[in-house]
Amino acid sequence: MEYKDEIGVIGIDDAPFNKFDKEALIIGTYMRGNKIVDEIYFKKIEKDGFDSTEKILKIVKDKHFTKINAIFLDGVTFGGFNIADIVKIYDETKIPVIVIIERKPDLLKIKSALKKHFFEFPEKIEMIESFPNPEPFENIVIQYIGISFEDACKIIKKTRLRSKIPECLRISHIVGRGFLNID
């Protein structure tokens, strides 16, 4: 499939937080292609909670909903271990979800951390195991649902500028880091 230069995409990342915080912030950047930012969204989520999926859906279903061709997530965990259910996000929006990961996740390490720190770990592990397997693409790893590997790669290439990740995710990350400097 061919994609226009100004394809509508949204990238969602979380802001840094400290271990004493009860909440974390997620940032969504809606862009056309890799140059035009049309909206930046902010939602609070419960650190290590279960509400990131619901908050991501609220961001996606806002005023640019009909123009979004792909949802990019920086990993599947936000605010610690608040896991975004990418299957549910796709099922409720019918918009392809593409997860960008720096390197292939160590599932054994993740499961061990969940068992050690969370009473509700079986539910979180079950969710992670329901996701598609991560696959390498150039110098990142991706998980995707609602789209082919080839089309996911085309959209990534179309929406990045000078980075290995889509510009909408890079901007969400930069905005999130900015919250570290608030006095």
pLDDT at position 106: 75
79 and 51 Cβ atoms separated by less than 8 Å: no
Radius of gyration of the chain (CA): 16
Portion of the chain with pLDDT greater than 90, in percent: 72
Q: What is the DSSP string of 68-93?
A: --EEEEESSEETTTEE--HHHHHHHH
Structural fold of domain 8-103+134-181: archaeoglobus fulgidus dsm 4304 fold (3.30.2170)
Local confidence band at 2 (pLDDT 50, 70, 90 cut-offs): confident
For range 52-78, the mean pLDDT: 97
Mean pLDDT of the chain, nearest integer: 91
Q: Among residues 118, 116, 109, 97, which one has the least CA distance to residue 169?
A: 97
Confidence of residue 118 (pLDDT cuts 50, 70, 90): low
Neighbours of 99 (CB within 10 A): 22
Domain ranges (residues) in the chain: 8-103+134-181
The pTM assigned to this predicted structure is: 0.93
Residue 111, pLDDT score: 72
- 3-state class percentages of the chain: helix first, strand second, coil last, to nearest 5: 35, 30, 35
- Give the mean pLDDT of 133-156: 96
